[in-house]
């Protein structure tokens, strides 16, 4: 998606060699008009696939997912990174983030997913796919179906992209980065 | 706002005496069309007040804030509850949550706020106002101006409402709950 690639080139910064910082328009400050365009594009791609619910993970997946949910006219559920005291039974799994060098839980209330659900999972970044594997596990446990995966920025040179494709899921990424080196961003 | 009050009466549940659970449409599953209406209503109220940036706190404030930001055509910044390793200088303050019985940080990068900013702060709930006081402190430190406060569900019988009014801020709450007792929700 050209609009997004232009934003990444203009406002993104590479730090520590291979971390792309997009905090001026995606994950700290959010550009609402850009989110609207991202959501619209995702909704257009997935519109005829029978999706009845969107799933994301807090926090940075919420903005593009919400816009997509609005255009698809379906509810959005966000997995939480800690179980609130007010939540009853939940699907819970542990995710290891290599980039952030930490382990965290992702939690979805059992009330939010059921076997009739046809899920579109959306996230802001795809790198090693650890968060995705957690979501995949939760969806399997709930007996819902994972119909598609929408990613804002897909670092296709890391392991997650191949894992999702090899698993046979319908993956749609708005920006595919094939290389992050020497301060340069290369799109596929 | 009647639409929101109807949702609260229909889908909200009271647990542990005075906690209102709205996880089927606001803070776990999100109804995007409702969020659009809430955002539109907030934008309409604050439209002529010179606001150039919206500030919220992750996670549940993001959805209504994003919709308001879209209608007002201004960026949205969400304060984080932990400082990412990739963030440089930040405004950081500590918030005590009585309801959740824990202490957490709220963090905003210094790049995101400056003395010319005229801020609308939006949050999903107002109870004791502790999160608000943290935001107030961060805004003061950044020398930005806090122009208004938009709240989705205001538990006016707790301390936060009075604190914000007494401090002279322009507070606009979409649903004002004056009593939560014996499983009954009473609106002001």
Burial-class residue A145 by CB neighbours within 10 Å (0-12, 13-18, 19+).
Answer: middle
pLDDT band at A99 (very low <50, low <70, confident <90, very high): low
Please, are residues B170 and B149 in contact by the beta-carbon 8 Å criterion?
Answer: yes
Interface of A with B (CB under 8 A): 15-16, 19, 21, 23-24, 28-33, 35-36, 58-59, 62-63, 66-67, 69-70, 73-78, 80, 85-87, 100, 108-109, 111-112
Instruction: Mark out chain B residues that contact chain A at CB-CB < 8 A.
Output: 15-16, 19, 21, 23-24, 28-33, 35-36, 58-59, 62-63, 66-67, 69-70, 73-78, 80, 84-87, 100, 108-109, 111-112
Q: What is the mean pLDDT of residues B70-81?
A: 97
Between residues A99 and B7, which one has the greater pLDDT?
B7
pTM: 0.97
Q: Which residues of A touch B67 (CB under 8 A)?
A: 32, 66
Find where tokens 């999160």 sit.
Answer: B131
The candidate with the shortest Cα–Cα distance to B30, out of A53, A178, A101, is A53
What the block records as the tokens of B104 is 């957490």
Q: CA A112 to CA A55: how far, in whole Å? A: 10
The answer, yes or no, to whether residue A140 has pLDDT greater than 90, is yes
CA separation, residue B152 to residues A103, A147, B46, B156 (Å): 33, 33, 14, 12
pLDDT at B84 over 90: no
Chain A nearest-CA residue for B14: A86
Mean of the per-residue pLDDT values of chain A = 95
Residue A22: pLDDT over 90: yes
Q: Identify which of A30, A58, A112 has the shortest CB distance to residue B76.
A: A30
Percent of chain A with pLDDT over 90: 88
d(CA A64, CA A162): 23
- CB contact under 8 Å between B66 and A24, yes or no, is no
Q: How far is CA A118 from CA A41, A95, A111, B57, in A?
A: 19, 23, 15, 30
**CA-atom Rg of chain A in angstroms:** 16
Query: For testing the chain A interface, which of B24, B26, B29 should be mutated: the one with the most A CBs within 10 Å?
Result: B29
φ/ψ of residue B163, rounded to 5: -60, -45
SS3 string, A111-168, reads HHCCCCCEEEEEEEEECCCHHHHHHHHHHHHHCCEEEEEEEEEEECCCHHHHHHHHCC
- HEC string for A53-113: EEEEECCCCHHHHHHHHHHHCCCEEEEECCCCCCCCCEEEEEEEECCCCEEEEEEEEHHHC
Beta carbons of B58 and B79 less than 8 angstroms apart: yes
- At residue A147 the predicted structure's pLDDT band, cuts being 50, 70 and 90, is very high
User: Considering only CB atoms, which chain B residues are within 8 Å of A102?
Assistant: none
From A80, which residue of chain B is nearest by alpha-carbon distance? B28
On the question of pLDDT at A42 being above 70, the answer is yes
Query: Which among A59, A73, A112 is the nearest to B28, CB-wise?
Result: A112
Give me the residue label for tokens 């594009």.
Answer: A41
Q: What is the pLDDT of residues B10-52, one digit of tens each?
A: 999 998 877 899 999 999 999 999 999 999 999 999 999 999 9
Classify residue A174 by its DSSP letter. E
Kindly determine whether residue A75 and residue B23, on different chains, have CB atoms separated by under 8 Å.
no
Give B164→chain A minimum CA distance, Å: 25
Where does the pLDDT of residue A20 fall: very low under 50, low under 70, confident under 90, or very high at 90 and above?
A: very high
pLDDT in tens, B105-156: 999 999 999 999 999 999 999 999 999 999 999 999 999 999 999 999 999 9
What ipTM describes this predicted complex?
0.96
The mean pLDDT of B94-103, rounded to a whole number, is 82
Q: pLDDT tens, B48-58?
A: 999 999 999 99
DSSP secondary structure string, chain B?
Answer: -HHHHHHHHHH-EEETTTEEE-TTTTSSEE-HHHHHHHHHHHHHHHTTS---EEEEETTTTHHHHHHHHHHHT--EEEEBSS--TT--SEEEEEEEETTTTEEEEEEEEGGG--TT-EEEEEEEEESS-HHHHHHHHHHHHHT-EEEEEEEEEEETTSHHHHHHHHTT-EEEEEEEEEEEETTEEEE-
């Amino acid at each position: 998606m050209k609009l997004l690639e232009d934003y990444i080139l203009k406002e993104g910064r590479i730090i520590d060699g291979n971390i792309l910082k997009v905090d001026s328009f995606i994950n700290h400050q959010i550009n609402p008009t850009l989110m609207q365009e991202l959501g619209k594009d995702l909704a257009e791609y997935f519109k005829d696939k029978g999706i009845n619910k969107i799933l994301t993970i807090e926090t940075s997946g919420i903005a593009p997912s919400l816009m997509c949910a609005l255009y698809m006219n379906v509810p959005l559920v966000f997995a939480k990174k800690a179980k609130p005291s007010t939540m009853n039974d939940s699907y819970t799994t542990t995710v290891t983030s290599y980039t952030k060098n930490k382990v965290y839980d992702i939690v979805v209330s059992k009330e939010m997913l059921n076997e009739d659900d046809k899920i579109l999972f959306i996230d802001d970044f795809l790198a090693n796919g650890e968060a995705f594997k957690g979501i995949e596990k939760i969806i399997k446990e709930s007996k819902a179906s994972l119909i598609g995966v929408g990613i804002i920025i897909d670092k296709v040179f890391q392991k997650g992209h191949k894992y999702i494709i090899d698993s046979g899921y319908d993956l749609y990424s708005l920006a595919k980065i094939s290389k992050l080196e020497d301060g340069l961003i290369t799109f596929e």
